[in-house]
Amino acid sequence: MESGIFFSDYAKDMALRRTHAEKIRLVLAILFAVSAPWLASKYQLTLLNQIGIAAIGAIGLNILVGFTGQISLGQGAFMAVGAYTSGLLAKNMGLPFWAAVPIASFVTAGVGAFFGIPSLRLKGLYLAIATLAAQQIIQWVITHWDYVTGGVDALVIPAPTLFGQRVNGEFKFYWVILFCLVLTIIFTVNLFRSKVGRAFIAIRDQDIAAEVMGVNLFQYKLLAFASSSFFVGLAGALTAHYRTIISWERFTIETSILYLAMIIIGGLGSVSGSVYGAAFMVLLPALLNNFGRAMHGTIPALDQIIPFLQQGMFGIVIILFLILEPEGLVKIWRNIKDYFRLWPFSY
Amino acid sequence: MDQFLQLTLSGLTNGAVLALAALGFVLIYKASDVINFAQGEFLLVGAYVMFAVVGELGWHWTVGIVVTVLVAVALGMLLERFVLRPMIGEPIISLIMVTIGLSSLLKAVVSGIWGTDERAFPSFIPSDPINVFGATVTTDKLWAIAIAAVFLVAFNLFFRRSSSGIAMRAVADDQQAALSMGISVKKVFAMAWSISAATAAIGGIIIANILGVSGNISGVGLQVFPVVILGGLDSIPGAVLGGVIIGLLQAYTGGYVGHGLNSIIPFIVLVLILMVKPYGLFGQEIIERV
């Protein structure tokens, strides 16, 4: 009868996958990821692709909010920077897909770091409000810089090519997104085993103590903004090439809020939580939509209120999670595991 | 000169609405340290309740205002009791997110009941054009400024003279000390939320009277942030002055510069203020250096 997980040496404690159950789950996850595109229908594959892109963005945001404790309401704008940079590079300069996306990510990292400068002086809600301003200002620049971005008109981006093959359709794009997501996860998980990641967590937990222990606050906060924005930009760039048509409406303050909701519902400061949260927030409106279509025969009026139902459920889910389980899906999953591990003597 | 006066008046009207919204915002922040992202939705609810009572039921506008204020008060109390009170002591991000969730929920409920189309508001304030210092303005704007001013003065008196108002200031100043003096902090929180919802609802009525009712009214919620940052997050006179300044600034940039810059100028001011004087014009400075 075990009462918990204990390690007898440091190597085991520091390993990424520490228990047999974790290793088995990893294998299952890989099997799922590899087999999914063959088994899933086109609609399901669309959802999977959306989840994948959202997960990359959510992990990026979680680096900043969940791990470093800097609240950002500028997610939507940073995604827009990634999307527009990548899209314009591919469209106007003819840059190949594999070059445009990383360049866009780095550009977004730079922009993110720039808008992270106020974090030197501002904390908590003042910073949140400053990033809200960043969101509005970037959005204004995109809609008014007609010469470059096309203003309020949609930007049409040619379908990308990789290794001489056109990457179009859900199936081919699935592998691109999966590749990026796996890279993002591996990088982020390892980031928080390194000096930099630990410094981020120290800043979140107690910034003055972190400063006293030799963490250069300004440098690390900017680094947090940059690395977070890098992945947010990656998610934006992927959105651009995946959709092939983008407009500023995709990247408003509502996107920022959606991503914050993902990491709150998934679990702040958790990489797997970001993925769960992304899946939850993509699936919730889709399920409501299907529900509305299924009930169309019985309650015809339901179709019309589905958008409001989606918006209302979005609010209710956030409120309920914050009140009932502020640590999110990750904590619920942990509780379930603990329950069965200790069953039937849970105390 | 004519244009200048016109812009000044519309700026003042806009500023008055912003000031009312910001006042409620500051009230909640002062009492309970919660940043309320649902302030714009309080305006929305107020506008639509007034629309339902006066426009759809056809009752007199005085009844409409009374009903609207009562609904807003009840709404504020309900939200405080069932959403905000369980959140006491949670980190800032949770408080921000819970009010964002509220805003989404309120918006969904309002548009679920009344739809999203813009509708004409049953105009109860006369809007005849009159001549002020050589500029032609409609009287509804003057009325809006007057109504807002009356409420602002009333609130000022409430906080200075009434015992409830003084209790609220006491709680804002020091919760523990207020508790030990026999003030019910819970009651004060509930009061802060209901008063805030009520002022916002009045603001909503004023704005709906000028622009008509639509979902766009909740957009004021975001413009409140530059106002309160400019005035200082915990300062009631700051909220009023900030509202007027931002309102005027928007009107002038809209009139003289254009390019939609008026929608963004408050946020540029916001960033500048945050860089130079983060606690605003009248905000209490909490010095913490890192």
Any idea which of A6-10, A196-200, A233-237, B258-262 has the lowest mean pLDDT?
A: B258-262
Question: Which two structure tokens, joined as six digits, stand for B190?
Answer: 């509930």
pLDDT at residue B1, rounded to an integer: 64
Average pLDDT over residues B100-125: 83
CB B19 within 8 A of CB B243: yes
Q: What is the pLDDT of residues A253-269, one digit of tens each?
A: 889 999 999 999 998 88
* Closest partner CB to A326 (pick from B90, B271, B274): B90
Residues in chain A: 347
Query: Is residue A269 assigned to a domain?
Result: no
- Please report the residues numbered 93 through 132 in chain A whose beta carbons come closer than 8 angstroms to any beta carbon of chain B: 118, 121-126, 128-130, 132
Distance from CA of B105 to the nearest CA of A (A): 4
Question: Which two structure tokens, joined as six digits, stand for A213?
Answer: 């222990």
Q: Phi/psi of residue B52, each to 5°?
A: -65, -45
DSSP string of B217-282, one letter each residue: GGGHHHHHHHHHHHH-TT-HHHHHHHHHHHHHHHHHIIIII-TTGGGTHHHHHHHHHHHH-TTTTT
pLDDT at residue A347, rounded to an integer: 60
Residue B268: pLDDT over 60? yes
Identify the residue with better confidence: B232 or A175.
A175
Query: Is residue A336 assigned to a domain?
Result: no
Apex CA B234: angle with CA B229 and CA B239, to 5°?
A: 60
| ipTM exceeding the 0.90 mark | no
Confidence label for B288 from pLDDT (cuts 50, 70 and 90): low
Cα–Cα distances in angstroms (integers) from residue B202 to residues A199, B34, B69, B114, in the given order: 48, 21, 7, 19
Q: At a CB cut-off of 8 Å and minimum separation 6, what does A107 contact?
A: A81, A82, A85, A233
DSSP-derived letter for residue A326 is: T
Q: Phi/psi of residue A126, each to 5°?
A: -65, -40
Enter the pTM of the model: 0.89
Query: Is residue A105 assigned to a domain?
Result: yes
For chain A, the average pLDDT equals 86
Query: Is residue A90 assigned to a domain?
Result: yes
Q: Phi/psi of residue B212, each to 5°?
A: 90, 160
Cα–Cα distances in angstroms (integers) from residue B22 to residues A152, B171, B177, in the given order: 30, 19, 27
Tell me how far apart the alpha carbons of residues B147 and B156 are, in angstroms, rounded to a whole number: 14
Q: Which of B33, B97, B117, B276 to mutate to test the interface with A (most CBs of A within 10 A)?
A: B97
B222 and A137 within 8 Å at the Cβ level: the answer is: no
Tell me how far apart the alpha carbons of residues B225 and A280 are, in angstroms, rounded to a whole number: 30
pLDDT at residue B20, rounded to an integer: 83
Q: What is the pLDDT of residues A127-169, one digit of tens each?
A: 888 888 889 888 888 888 877 777 777 888 877 777 777 777 7
Q: What is the pLDDT of residues B144-161, one digit of tens each?
A: 788 878 887 888 888 888
- Please report the residues numbered 156 through 175 in chain A whose beta carbons come closer than 8 angstroms to any beta carbon of chain B: none
Minimal Cα distance from B228: which residue of A?
Answer: A129
Q: Report CA Rg, chain B.
A: 19
Identify the residue with better confidence: B114 or A201.
A201
Residue type, A241: H
Mutual orientation of helices B139-161 and B236-252 as an angle, nearest 10°? 160
Query: Is residue A326 assigned to a domain?
Result: no
* Closest partner CB to A308 (pick from B87, B112, B278): B112
Any idea which of A101-105, A143-147, B196-200 has the lowest mean pLDDT?
A: A143-147
User: Domain containing A134: what range?
Assistant: 21-251
Tell me how far apart the alpha carbons of residues B136 and B130 are, in angstroms, rounded to a whole number: 6
DSSP-derived letter for residue B128 is: -
The H or E element containing residue B129 is strand B129-132
DSSP-derived letter for residue A192 is: T
Beta strands A165-166 and A161-162, pairing class = antiparallel
Q: Which of A71, A327, A114, A68 is nearest to A207 (CA)?
A: A68
Beta strands A155-156 and B135-138, pairing class = unpaired
Residue B287: pLDDT over 70? no
Confidence label for B11 from pLDDT (cuts 50, 70 and 90): confident
The H or E element containing residue B137 is strand B135-138
Confidence label for B261 from pLDDT (cuts 50, 70 and 90): confident
A71 and B112 within 8 Å at the Cβ level: the answer is: no
Residue A198: pLDDT over 70? yes
Catalogue all structural domains in chain B, each as residue range(s) with its CATH number.
2-117+131-276 (1.10.3470)
Q: Which of A142, A323, A331 to mutate to test the interface with B (most CBs of B within 10 A)?
A: A323
Minimal Cα distance from B112: which residue of A?
Answer: A308
Residue type, A246: I
pLDDT at residue A346, rounded to an integer: 64
Question: Which two structure tokens, joined as six digits, stand for A131?
Answer: 């990033």
Confidence label for B290 from pLDDT (cuts 50, 70 and 90): very low
Tell me how far apart the alpha carbons of residues A138 and B268 are, in angstroms, rounded to a whole number: 11
Query: Is residue A345 assigned to a domain?
Result: no
- As beta bridge partners, residue A161 has A166
B276 Cβ under 8 Å from any chain A Cβ: no
Tell me how far apart the alpha carbons of residues B259 and A26 are, in angstroms, rounded to a whole number: 53
CB B208 within 8 A of CB B47: yes
Q: Which of A104, A233, A97 is nearest to A173 (CA)?
A: A97
Query: Is residue A241 assigned to a domain?
Result: yes
Residue A224: pLDDT over 90? yes
DSSP-derived letter for residue A150 is: -
Cα–Cα distances in angstroms (integers) from residue B130 to residues A3, A243, B134, B141, in the given order: 81, 53, 9, 11
CB pairs under 8 A between A and B: 129
Task: Count up the domains in chain A and report the number.
Answer: 1
Residue A1: pLDDT over 60? no
DSSP SS3 for A155: strand
Residue A249: count of CB within 10 angstroms of its CB: 12
Q: What is the pLDDT of residues B35-68, one digit of tens each?
A: 888 888 998 999 899 888 888 887 888 888 899 9
Residue A291: pLDDT over 50? yes
Tell me how far apart the alpha carbons of residues A227 and B26 are, in angstroms, rounded to a whole number: 34
Average pLDDT over residues A62-78: 90
Q: At a CB cut-off of 8 Å and minimum separation 6, what does A296 contact?
A: A302, A303
DSSP SS3 for B109: helix
Tell me how far apart the alpha carbons of residues A197 and A140 are, in angstroms, rounded to a whole number: 33
Query: Is residue A327 assigned to a domain?
Result: no
Q: Which residue spans within chain A are E strands per DSSP?
A: 155-156, 161-162, 165-166, 245-246
